[in-house]
Amino acid sequence: MIDETVEEIEEMQTHGSSVVAIKAAEALRTLTEREFPTVEEYLRTLDRNSNALRRANPSHASLYSTQHEIVETVTDADPADVSTAKRLTLEAIESVVDEVESAKERAAARAATLIADDDVLLIHDYSSTVMTAIDDALAAGHSFEVYATESRPRYLGRKAARKLAERDGVDVTLVVDSAAGHFMPECDRVVVGMDCIVEDMLYNRVGTYPIATAANDTGVPMTVVGADSKYVDGAFAFENEFRSPSEVLLEPAEGFDVANPAYDATPVELLDSVVTDETIHEY
């Protein structure tokens, strides 16, 4: 299961940083089902597999922090035997999963209060936290129109559009990424998720920066939603991922290069607010 999860993360078959973190944490359960001759061998295997999961997407702050917490919790406890080490692993997995899920729910609930009835929203990428915020706003009786960018080249926005189209009270329009500026004057708010914020820089799915620039230029507030733990310090070094050119161009590139960065950097000064499970950061 761990190898399959690594592949899913690498191929972006699992979307949303919180979903990725939970999926990776749950994958470590399979280690507790194996036999190990010593505690030392178990801990080495746990660390090795956790590193493999982290390397599957080194840009994901939530993936890094949850995996680090699981391994550190088990290792620092200095378990006396394999059975104890396995129990500690399962408890650590439950703890981080609960923490990620509850943080997402609290952040979404707080963000939902910023979405007014009949608002026109623009969203980018597929963020499970943003989707939950919209669901919370719908449950409160609101209805609104949503422009969803395709989020090329993996077209993650198409998934968001299809999911939102299933909800009553949402009128969805899918637009190409480069049309975000064209539709911006019609919008009341831009709402996106986040991978992480490091030193006043938001790292999120590529295309976020030009959307933030267009929103700032037209006076449309842009709200970012995510767990407060995604504000990270020097313990985590963001590492952008340059993905395969085949995601952009199926035929061979002859005489030119294809650049396919997964994320871009947006100065937080372009944002109106960052909503987390702890508070609302205003800029």
Would you state the structure tokens that stand for residue 283, as one six-digit string?
């800029």
The confidence score (pLDDT) of residue 13 equals: 66
The C-alpha atoms of residue 74 and residue 55 are separated, in whole angstroms, by 20
pLDDT of residue 28: 97
- Those residues whose C-beta lies under 8 Å from the C-beta of residue 219, and which sit 6 or more positions away, are none
CB-CB neighbours of 200 under 10 Å:
9
Nearest one of 199, 266, 208 to 237, comparing CA atoms: 199
Confidence (pLDDT) at 60: 84
Q: Please state whether beta strands 222-225 and 189-192 pair in parallel, antiparallel, or not at all (unpaired).
A: parallel
- Specify the pLDDT at position 97: 96
pLDDT of residue 173: 98
Question: Which pLDDT belongs to residue 237?
Answer: 77
Tell me if 227 sits within 8 A of 275, measured CB to CB: no
Query: Residues near 276 by Cβ (< 8 Å), separated by ≥ 6?
Result: 103, 107, 110, 225, 226, 227, 228, 230, 231
At residue 173, the 3 state secondary structure works out as strand
Q: Is 224 helix (H, G, I), strand (E, B) or coil?
A: strand
In angstroms, the CA 193 to CA 230 distance is 11
Under the phi-then-psi rule, with left for phi > 0, alpha for psi from -120 to 50, and beta for the rest, what region is 47? alpha
What is the pLDDT at residue 18?
86
Chunked mean pLDDT (size 10), the chain, 283 residues: 88 77 96 97 97 90 93 97 98 97 96 90 96 95 96 95 96 98 98 93 96 98 95 79 93 95 96 96 93
- Measured CA to CA, the distance from residue 179 to residue 219 in angstroms comes to 17
